[in-house]
């Protein structure tokens, strides 16, 4: 196995793919992401057996999506041999990210910036454990609302509510885990409001025009399109989670963010591929993480 490193890399983990067609499907949906453009794609193929022509078509797919194949990580001898025949670098993937000292980034953010260098450094076991739980790709994104901007236009912008909201509300920190949870298995439609002194968990979509107001967290196992207010009594630890965060407004404690006018939500979500998103309060602004990793 070669030693080497790839700069400006982008790791795509396909080790969970059950067959070649699923693998290619997942890969193409990931390469669609703006984050993957002009990157050296590093593929984690697990123990999938690929022959030379299959590997060649994957290479062609990456080329066609303005990418470049950096290296592949495989446990399969057949794949390894095929890659070597095509002179594709085969290596074991390790994540090494350089973090600027003044920027105290979380692990999610680190993955966001994704300056990935791969080496065959065996001492790096710790980082290896942090690999996402059910990964397709090892990426996560900070969409932001007033904080970090990755792709130019942000999805949310903070609202200036001075003079609009009363400032009597005191912020406090509370662990939402200690609160009761309302569990609903339904679609929330326009005009419907769910207000609860605890956490709200909805299996289904919350349509535009609906309202969710919770003392604790709001989690929507579906598309969130209405207004969501987590930590409505001022709990700054509250979060809003959804498979797709399209909320017209996101409110956490006393902070409000509105969806950016330039952000276009498709009339119908055609894709069945979701990247769960979570909105949290950070430094007086609502920040959205797209993530595949579970909260610690």
Partner 1 sequence: MSGRVIVITSGKGGVGKTTTSANIGTALAKAGNKVVLIDTDIGLRNLDLLLGLENRIVYTIVDVVEGRCKLKQALVKDKKNPNLSLLAAAQTRDKSAVSEEQLKDICEKLKKDNDFILVDCPAGIEQGFQNAVAGASEAIVVTTPEMSAIRDADRIIGLLAAREEIESYKLLLNRVRPNLIATNDMMSVEDVVELLACDLIGIIPEDTGIISSTNKGDPIVNDEKSLAGQAYRNVARRIMGEEVEFLNLEEDKNFIGKIKDFFEKTIKEIKAKI
Binding site for partner 1 (CB under 8 A): 159, 161, 163-166, 190-193, 208-209, 211, 248-249, 256, 258-259, 261
Round to whole Å and give the CA distance between 172 and 234: 6
| Closer by beta carbon to partner 1, 94 or else 259 | 259
Q: Torsion angle, CA of 73/77/78/82, rounded to 10 degrees? A: 60
Give min distance, CB of 252 to partner 1, in A: 14
State which residue, 127 or 258, has the beta carbon closest to partner 1.
Answer: 258
What distance in Å separates the CA atoms of residue 44 and residue 52, rounded to the nearest whole number? 17
- Shortest gap between Cβ of 44 and partner 1 (angstroms)? 39
Give me the least distance between CB of 11 and partner 1, in Å please: 35
Instruction: Specify the residue, 39 or 251, whose C-beta has the smaller distance to partner 1.
Output: 251
Minimum Å gap between C-beta 147 and partner 1 is: 18
Q: Tell me how far, at minimum, the Cβ of 211 lies from partner 1, in Å.
A: 6
- In angstroms, what is the minimal distance from the CB of 129 to partner 1? 40
Tell me the C-alpha distance between 245 and 265, whole Å.
Answer: 10
Nearer to partner 1 by Cβ, of 45 and 255: the residue is: 255
Name which of 8 and 262 has its Cβ closer to partner 1. Answer: 262
Q: Which is nearer to partner 1, 216 or 254 (CB)?
A: 254
As given in the structure block, the two tokens for residue 2 are 């070669």
CB of 17 vs partner 1, minimal distance in Å:
38
Cβ-based nearer residue to partner 1, 165 or 182: 165
């Amino acid at each position: 196995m070669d030693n080497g490193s790839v700069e400006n890399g982008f790791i795509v983990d396909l080790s969970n793919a059950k067959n070649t067609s699923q693998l290619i499907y997942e890969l193409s949906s990931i390469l669609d992401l703006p984050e993957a453009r002009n990157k050296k794609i590093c593929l984690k193929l697990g123990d999938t057996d690929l022959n030379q022509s299959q590997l060649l078509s994957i290479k062609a797919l990456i080329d066609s999506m303005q990418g470049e194949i950096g290296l592949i990580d495989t446990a399969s001898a057949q794949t390894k041999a095929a890659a070597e025949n095509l002179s594709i670098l085969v290596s074991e993937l390790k994540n090494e990210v350089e973090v600027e000292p003044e920027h105290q980034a979380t692990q999610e953010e680190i993955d966001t910036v994704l300056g990935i260098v791969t080496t065959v450094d065996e001492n790096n076991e710790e980082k290896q454990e942090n690999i996402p739980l059910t990964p397709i790709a090892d990426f996560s994104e900070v969409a932001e609302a007033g904080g970090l901007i990755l792709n130019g236009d942000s999805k949310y912008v903070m609202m200036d509510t001075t003079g609009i909201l009363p400032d009597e509300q005191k912020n406090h920190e509370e662990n939402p885990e200690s609160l009761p949870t309302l569990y609903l298995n339904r679609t929330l439609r326009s005009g419907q409001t769910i207000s609860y002194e605890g956490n709200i968990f909805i299996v289904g979509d919350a349509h535009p025009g609906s309202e969710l107001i919770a003392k604790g967290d709001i989690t929507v196992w579906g598309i969130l399109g209405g207004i969501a207010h987590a930590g409505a009594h001022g709990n700054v630890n509250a979060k809003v989670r959804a498979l797709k965060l399209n909320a017209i407004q996101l409110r956490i404690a006393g902070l409000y963010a509105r969806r950016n006018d330039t952000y276009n939500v498709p009339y119908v979500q055609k894709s069945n591929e979701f990247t769960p998103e979570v909105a949290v309060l950070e430094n007086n602004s609502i920040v959205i993480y797209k993530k595949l990793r579970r909260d610690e």
